[in-house]
Structure 1
Amino acid sequence: MTADHTAPAGPVIYVDADACPVKAEAVKVGERHEMLVVFVSNGGLRPSRDPLVRHVVVPGTPDAADDWIVEEANANDIAITADVPLAARLVEKGLHVLGPTGRPFTPETIGMAVAMRDLKQDLRESGAIKGYNPGFTARDRSAFLQALDRTVRLALRLKD
């Protein structure tokens, strides 16, 4: 993303948007705090008229959205993703990273998250477990809203 003089200074919320169930919640919190929200996807998202919402469409190649977010985001920005390898890259870069259920990925927790992801992938590939993810609930949505609001407040405090 190139410099945009209409964007507010301060942290930006980046959303790995292709399968994100909390896009509306990210916009709601972003608007409340007057923060830029950037949705990054391979396409298929409806454009927004909100000046604080940007859509970036990347090629449909594997990891294109991930690579774009890692390239553009800065330390103290916020990222929303369920993609554990992307979360690890962003945590390493100094971002505040949340999963769509509000689960924070931090320097202290990312190693275990990567290990669990790899273990589950191995178990799925061997047929030991099925590849079903639990459904997204109203409780998950509420937890996400609370976690994002806390994270935004932290990022804004650290900005100063």
Structure 2
Amino acid sequence: MSLYIDADACPVKAEAERVATRHRLKMYVVSNGGLRPSQNPLVETVIVPEGPDVADMWIADRAGPGDVVVTGDIPLAAKCVEAGAQVLKHDGEPLTRANIGNVLATRDLMTDLRSADPFRQGGGKGFTKADRSRFLDALERAIRAAAKT
């Protein structure tokens, strides 16, 4: 069982590390650079080459049943769900076989809407303490579920 973090723009790396340490899980923090490596022996910082979706491919090639993946990248999440991993967004929302199709469709629709209106500003909400708390609770549940597979 491993915990994979799609680390580029991930606001919950420290929280995930605390939970992984408590459960004695190997955690992979995957990015294309710019991160300070953890001194925790359970945490491996993986720096992948520059390029589109290289970190995503690294995670997707390894994640499977019994693993947990934390990502905001919906196509990566879909691949990991298909491979049998437990997948969470940064705010704790679980991505499952039951909801990944709708989440992908919504992502594609929003991409189309944004490209149709290049002057659209903002639209995103800030990451809150409640989001962080939901993530921690969801990560605990995902780790327990992954352990059963």
Q: Compute the TM-score of the two structures, normalised by the length of structure 2.
A: 0.95
Q: Deviation per CA, 1:57-94: give whole Å up to 9, x if none.
A: 00110000000001122222000000011101111111
**Once the 2 structures are TM-superposed, how far is the Cα of residue 130 of structure 1 from its aligned partner?**
4.1
**Once the 2 structures are TM-superposed, how far is the Cα of residue 153 of structure 1 from its aligned partner?**
1.3
**Once the 2 structures are TM-superposed, how far is the Cα of residue 156 of structure 1 from its aligned partner?**
1.7
> Partners of 1:108 and 1:87 in 2: how far apart?
13
Instruction: Please tell me whether the aligned partners of residues 4 and 30 of structure 2 are also in contact (alpha carbons under 8 angstroms).
Output: yes
> Partners of 2:123 and 2:93 in 1: how far apart?
19
Instruction: Please tell me whether the aligned partners of residues 124 and 131 of structure 1 are also in contact (alpha carbons under 8 angstroms).
Output: no
The match for 1:156 is 147
Which of residues 49, 68, 76 is equivalent to 2:58? Answer: 68
The match for 2:29 is 39
Percent identity of the aligned residues?
Answer: 51
Instruction: Please tell me whether the aligned partners of residues 88 and 94 of structure 2 are also in contact (alpha carbons under 8 angstroms).
Output: yes
Mapping 1:75-86, distance limit 5 Å: 75-86=65-76
**CA RMSD of the aligned region, Å?**
1.2
Q: Compute the TM-score of the two structures, normalised by the length of structure 1.
A: 0.89
> Which residues of structure 1 form unaligned runs of 5+?
1-10
The 3-state SS of whatever aligns with 2:33 is: coil
**Once the 2 structures are TM-superposed, how far is the Cα of residue 131 of structure 1 from its aligned partner?**
5.2
Instruction: Please tell me whether the aligned partners of residues 124 and 130 of structure 1 are also in contact (alpha carbons under 8 angstroms).
Output: no
Instruction: Please tell me whether the aligned partners of residues 87 and 105 of structure 1 are also in contact (alpha carbons under 8 angstroms).
Output: yes
Q: Deviation per CA, 1:45-68: give whole Å up to 9, x if none.
A: 111111100000001100000000
The match for 2:129 is 138
**Once the 2 structures are TM-superposed, how far is the Cα of residue 132 of structure 1 from its aligned partner?**
3.0
The 3-state SS of whatever aligns with 2:148 is: helix
Instruction: Please tell me whether the aligned partners of residues 36 and 52 of structure 1 are also in contact (alpha carbons under 8 angstroms).
Output: yes
The match for 1:110 is 100
The 3-state SS of whatever aligns with 1:40 is: strand
The 3-state SS of whatever aligns with 1:116 is: helix
